[in-house]
């Protein structure tokens, strides 16, 4: 069984997907559709902007979705059968487009607004995210509960890497405790807001009416939700989960384990960087993994299918 997964924010870089864009008309068409919908030159943003401009949340989210879905559009007919789609945070929107839950135009608009709302929710500098390595998941959760204020598990990336999010001063207190309890490393992330914690609830409240205006179909291929790490077969349920996803933790490694338990033996990551491929390898030993990021990766796809 094969699962196709899509990356989230942080995987972006200037020039992602350019070799595909230069070679394939279908890629250029997807970029043009995104540009028309947003009134933004996506080719310029993705290929010619600065890393700082592309890193802005309201730019990064539609840019990653566009690059990832464009590549998927090129290769989708090569798959005989896909058992599940999933995506890390923003990537779940790409999964929804791939599974026919929402249109590409609706998705790229929704994530543009999602990024803006998330950026607006907390003033710059007041939030913080850190990645914790070397502590048990239960220990990270317990330390979060010990700290007064807002500090919460945001990304369950792998059994040995949990990202914590919250108010900067509360996260700093968490870091002191985590180091005293034996954390091997605690790394501050270069992000502009504390994503996937309760501070993002205002962003979710603003996003909800936008998603309610969008038509959500039942998925043609089941999606695994970040929020529940379980299968979603209903478009209405997926809409509700995408609202909750803004302020709840991304249960990524649990999602991977769920798919493995259901029989998935091959994970194919489509989009920039190889972040999810690395996390999957650290979570599920013995599965086949492949990232499709550049044109040269297409040969590897033929080998694995």
Domains along the sequence of the chain with CATH = 2-121+198-304 (3.40.366.10), 127-188 (3.30.70.250)
Half-sphere exposure for 109 (CA within 13 Å, toward CB): 14
Catalytic residues, which ones? 89, 196
Q: Please say whether the dihedral angle defined by the alpha carbons of residues 141, 145, 148 and 150, taken in this order, is positive or negative.
A: positive
* Per-residue pLDDT tens listing for the chain (305 residues): 999 999 999 899 999 999 999 999 999 999 999 999 999 999 999 999 999 999 889 999 999 999 999 999 999 989 889 999 999 999 999 999 999 999 999 999 999 999 999 999 998 889 999 999 999 999 999 999 999 999 999 999 999 999 999 999 999 999 999 999 999 999 998 888 899 999 999 999 999 999 999 999 999 999 999 999 999 989 999 999 999 999 999 999 999 999 999 999 999 999 999 999 999 999 998 999 999 999 999 988 877 77
Q: Look at strands 223-224 and 231-232 and give their pairing.
A: antiparallel
Residue 100, φ and ψ in degrees, nearest 5: 80, 15
User: What is the model's pLDDT at position 161?
Assistant: 94
Q: Please say whether the dihedral angle defined by the alpha carbons of residues 225, 233, 59 and 46, taken in this order, is positive or negative.
A: positive
User: What is the model's pLDDT at position 300?
Assistant: 85
CA distances from 141 to 131, 154, 175, 177 (A): 13, 10, 13, 12
User: What is the model's pLDDT at position 195?
Assistant: 95
**Two structure tokens written together for 41:** 């030159």
User: What is the model's pLDDT at position 124?
Assistant: 84
- Number of neighbours of residue 58 by Cβ within 10 angstroms: 20
Question: Rounded CA gap, 126 and 271, in Å?
Answer: 31
User: What is the model's pLDDT at position 264?
Assistant: 96
Question: Rounded CA gap, 251 and 230, in Å?
Answer: 10
User: What is the model's pLDDT at position 191?
Assistant: 83
User: What is the model's pLDDT at position 199?
Assistant: 97
User: What is the model's pLDDT at position 304?
Assistant: 75
């Amino acid at each position: 069984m094969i699962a196709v997964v899509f990356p989230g924010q942080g995987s972006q870089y200037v020039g992602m997907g350019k070799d595909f864009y230069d070679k394939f008309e279908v890629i250029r068409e997807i970029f043009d559709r995104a540009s028309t919908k947003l009134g933004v030159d996506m080719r310029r943003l993705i290929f010619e902007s600065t890393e700082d401009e592309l890193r802005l949340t309201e730019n990064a989210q539609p840019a990653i979705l566009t690059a990832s879905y464009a590549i998927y559009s090129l290769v989708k007919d090569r798959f005989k059968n896909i058992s599940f789609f999933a995506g890390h945070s923003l990537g779940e929107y790409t999964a929804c487009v791939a599974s026919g839950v929402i249109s590409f135009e609706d998705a790229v608009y929704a994530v543009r607004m999602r990024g803006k709302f998330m950026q607006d929710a907390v003033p710059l500098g007041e939030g913080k995210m850190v990645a914790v390595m070397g502590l048990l998941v239960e220990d990270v959760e317990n330390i979060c509960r010990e700290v007064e204020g807002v500090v919460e598990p945001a990304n369950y990336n792998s059994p040995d890497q949990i990202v914590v999010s919250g108010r900067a001063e509360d996260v700093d207190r968490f870091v002191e405790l985590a180091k005293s309890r034996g954390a091997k490393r605690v790394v501050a992330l270069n992000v502009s807001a504390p994503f996937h914690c309760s501070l993002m609830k205002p962003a979710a409240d603003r996003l909800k009416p936008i998603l309610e205006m969008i038509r959500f179909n039942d998925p043609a291929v089941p999606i695994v939700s970040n929020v529940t790490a379980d299968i979603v077969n209903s478009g209405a349920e997926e809409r509700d989960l995408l609202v909750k996803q803004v302020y709840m933790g991304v249960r990524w490694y649990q999602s991977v384990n769920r798919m493995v338990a259901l029989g998935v033996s091959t994970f194919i990551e489509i989009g920039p960087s190889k972040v999810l491929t690395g996390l999957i390898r650290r979570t599920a030993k013995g599965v086949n993994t492949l990232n499709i990021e550049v044109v040269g990766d297409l040969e590897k796809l033929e080998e694995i299918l």
